[in-house]
Amino acid sequence: MIDVNLLREKPEIFRESQRARGADVTLVDQILEADSSRRSSISEFENLRAEQKAFGKKVAAAKGEEKQTLLAEVKELSQRVDEAKTASEQAQEKQDDLLSRMENLIIEGIPAGGEENFKVLKIVGEPRDFAAEGFEPRDHLEIGELVDGIDMARGAKVSGSRFYFLKGYVARLEQALLTMALDQAIANGFTMMTTPTLVRPETMNGTGFNVKHDDEIYRLERDDLYLVGTSEVALAGYHADEILDLSDGPLKYLGWSSCYRREAGSAGKDTRGIIRVHQFNKAEMFIYATPEEAEGIHEQMLAWEEEMLQKCGLSYRVIDTAAGDLGSSAARKFDCEAWVPTQEDFRELTSTSNCTTFQARRLNIRERTADTVDDNGKMRKGATRMVATLNGTLATTRWLVAILETHQNPDGTVNIPEALQPYMGGLKVIPLAKK
């Protein structure tokens, strides 16, 4: 949720943000109008309440007919107070509804437009030249079948389309990748968290996902619970309605979970193999920080993601995502896209988002600022304010696509990146399946 006080002070920056996103600009003025109505209603209610209290004292002191007359007036005033209270509550509800529709204020300087309007910040590494090596690369599914590591047919038999089994060395490779991500995160001060994969609607909504209109989200109607598409959701809800102590620095969590997405709108070549599937595993960074630290931490999270990609020996590019492709909670998002040889294109493997104070406002997560001493030497207790939240992926099942295709050999075997070999028991090459 955005800061309504800031919107009141600087409405034009929110209008520009909405324009950059391709979102409804008139929402800004609707919120301003609702805010004015809310404040007016509250003022009227408070004035009537004060009048009611004062009137009560007059009634207590009155006698006889005068008291009866005043009691009749008190009844009328009480009705007006109730009406004013109802009006103020309705005005608050209207404003809250409008604020819940407003997407986060973007960070100045990011690209405007939609999915195709991203800005390439860097390209790292050279895609492998298979033609120079004299063979045509196989796609990840063909490789996975040759090494008996991916079984889509039985996944579909058991659960339906876009489900799969990972087997043998490919299953181990996924676990190796996630464990390497965990070790890297712990070395950088993160606490490992295994998180719930079912959450309440208020947690999903609080994180910024619209449970009523998002076709990607699985819902268990009988229990009114939602399957998460990322452990970001559970980790954002972890400190809901709490006041955090950030005096020793940011709180850093590494969420480890299975994730679920309908992938309702995807089609074509992405439906082959494990590029777009309904269930996958992920190691997700989540950080609570002060608003002043957020942009610097965002850059650091990107660096940690790049470190993982480099350990895996992948060529990739980093993009600054356009405003219209951010999602409602992000103020800025960097994507890392690895080169997938058989698609001859960069495909997203990881992203990191700075959500500023947007999620914290929806979930009521605050920090207490440091105590201060005033000019008279009196200690003043620190105030509370909203924290910033950031998230970023360190590893996920989709990485197997780029790893298998990038490091394949002409016979279908796969060289394991050196950094991952210790996590594979020292294995250097994934062999072909025994016939």
Q: Is 398 labeled as catalytic in the residue annotation?
A: yes
Which residues sit opposite 280 in a β-bridge? 259
The span from the CA of 397 to the CA of 256, in Å, is 12
Q: Which amino acid, one-letter code, is at 266?
A: S
Q: Please pick, among 257, 351, 366, 405, the residue that the annotation labels catalytic.
A: 351
The span from the CA of 308 to the CA of 305, in Å, is 5
Q: Is 261 labeled as catalytic in the residue annotation?
A: yes
Q: Is 276 labeled as catalytic in the residue annotation?
A: yes
Q: Is 78 labeled as catalytic in the residue annotation?
A: no
CA atoms within 13 A on the CB side of 22: 12
Q: Please pick, among 89, 142, 242, 348, the residue that the annotation labels catalytic.
A: 348
User: Quick one: which of 258, 255, 250 has its CA closest to 389?
Assistant: 250
Two tokens at 16? 């520009």
DSSP reduced 3-state for 323: helix
If you write DSSP's letter for every residue of 110-121 in order, what string do you get?
A: SPPSSGGG-EEE
Q: Is 257 labeled as catalytic in the residue annotation?
A: no
Radius of gyration of the chain from its Cα atoms, rounded to whole angstroms: 28
Two tokens at 243? 């006041």
- How many CB atoms neighbour CB 24 within 10 A? 13
Q: Please pick, among 261, 332, 361, 362, the residue that the annotation labels catalytic.
A: 261
Q: Is the CB of residue 253 less than 8 Å from the CB of residue 189?
A: no
DSSP β-ladder status, 225-227 and 345-354: unpaired
Q: Please pick, among 276, 332, 362, 366, the residue that the annotation labels catalytic.
A: 276
DSSP reduced 3-state for 240: coil
List, by residue number, the catalytic residues: 261, 276, 348, 351, 398
